[in-house]
Amino acid sequence: MSGAAAVGESVAQQTVVLEATDVVKHFTSRGEGHGAAKQTVKAVDGVTLRIREGEMFGLVGESGSGKTTFGQSVLRMHEPTSGSVRFRGEEILGLRTRELRRLRPKMQYIFQDPFGALNPRLSVAAAIGEPMRAHGLASRNDERDRVAEVLEQCGMEADAMDRYPHEFSGGQRQRIVIARAMALRPEFVVADEPVSALDVSVQGQIVNLLTDLRDQQRTSFLFISHDLSVVEHMCTSVAIMYRGRIVEQGTRDQIFADARHPYTQELLAAVPIADPHQRGRRRGRVVTREWDDPDAVRPPLVDVGEGHLVALPGS
């Protein structure tokens, strides 16, 4: 039995770590041309979901669907336009900077680009150690020991501490980025496409690393991805995002075995089957985008059975 399945069996009984309710993030831009009206981009348009302790929650959608903006909004890297975000029952959107600082170590972000996520002027020891010291999780005397410990946990040798980002491969840099986040012993992590920039062989190593960290530390993850095969392997719950809204949400098995929304079906249809004897076949039926209308995803999510939520076109 996979780690994801084992954890998924008890997820319903676990404490809710993060609860987002009707989160909205709109960006306003100036129109083109003299006197043009301002335009509003509805990047996130009323997203509601719950992530429980020890859960790997997958957020899936094509580029531009609002996944990253949502992940950054719940951590207040972007200030949401409206909505509610509760971390272990505490509303965080109204917290002042000083109050939010108290929660920062508990809520971390793993960036998509391991090349841009690290300061090239900082050694690995400084990149990982300074945040620990700033939040009182390590003294200057034991900082190097703590850095060596977390590097080892993430599959890196201790001698990497005194080297700089340009000396590492993409996979090694991603391990360093993960180590920096996990060094603060977070309870909730947004992992934004953490394997998309890596070679396939390295992707498997990072996927296994994140799964091990989840199992060992009971950390909750919002795993943002467009790779359905990775999401199916790692995640216990899945939400499908389209044009800033969730159009379908349920357990991994519900989504992959019984997708109800045409957009979810279309995503699944685009995934080739990894079997040489079934060359050319797809996981789902190819659908047309007759439903592809802004109003088609406006209806609220409805429960179609056992917590499987879907916005049905025409409902």
- Over residues 193-207, the pLDDT tens digits come to 998 877 887 888 888
Per DSSP, the three-state class of 125 is helix
The one-letter amino acid code at 43 reads A
Lowest-confidence range among 23-32, 63-72, 162-171, 246-255? 23-32
Q: Which of 172, 56, 67 is nearest to 180 (CA)?
A: 172
**Mean pLDDT calculated for residue range 119-125:** 95
DSSP state for residue 13 in the 8-state scheme: G
231-243, pLDDT tens digit by residue? 999 999 999 999 9
Residue range 94-99: mean pLDDT, rounded? 92
- In this structure, the dihedral spanned by the alpha carbons of residues 282, 288, 293 and 294, taken in order and rounded to 10 degrees, is 0
The phi, psi pair for 287, rounded to 5°, reads -115, 160
pLDDT at 285: 52
148-157 residue pLDDT tens: 999 998 989 9
pLDDT at site 295: 47
User: What would the mean pLDDT of 200-223 be, rounded to a whole number?
Assistant: 89
The residues near 24 (Cβ < 8 Å, ≥ 6 apart) are 42, 44, 45, 46, 47, 80, 81, 82, 83
Task: Indicate if the pLDDT at residue 56 is higher than 70.
Answer: yes
**DSSP states of 51-69:** EETT-EEEEE--TTSSHHH
- What is the model's pLDDT at position 253? 94
Superfamily of domain covering 3-113+187-310:
P-loop containing nucleotide triphosphate hydrolases (3.40.50.300)
How many C-beta neighbours within 10 Å does residue 4 have? Answer: 21
Average pLDDT, the chain: 86
Under 8 Å between Cβ of 51 and 18:
yes
Q: Are residues 59 and 222 in contact, defined by beta-carbon separation less than 8 angstroms?
A: yes
Q: Which residue has the tokens 């592809």?
A: 292
Cβ contacts of 223 within 8 Å, gap of 6 or more: 56, 57, 58, 59, 191, 194, 210, 231, 234, 235
- Distance (Å, rounded) from C-alpha 219 to C-alpha 230? 18
Rounded alpha-carbon distances, angstroms, from residue 260 to 155, 207, 264, 300, 311: 40, 28, 7, 14, 9
pLDDT band at 312 (very low <50, low <70, confident <90, very high): confident
State whether residue 286 is helix, strand or coil: coil
Number of H helices, E strands in the chain: 10, 12
Alpha carbon 119 to its chain centroid, in Å, reads: 22
Query: pTM, whole model, 2 decimals?
Result: 0.86
Q: Does position 70 have pLDDT exceeding 90, yes or no? A: yes
CB of 14 closer than 8 Å to CB of 52: yes
Q: Give percent above pLDDT 90 in the chain.
A: 57
Nearest residue to 89 via CA among 30, 18, 158: 18
pLDDT class of 296 with cuts at 50, 70, 90:
very low
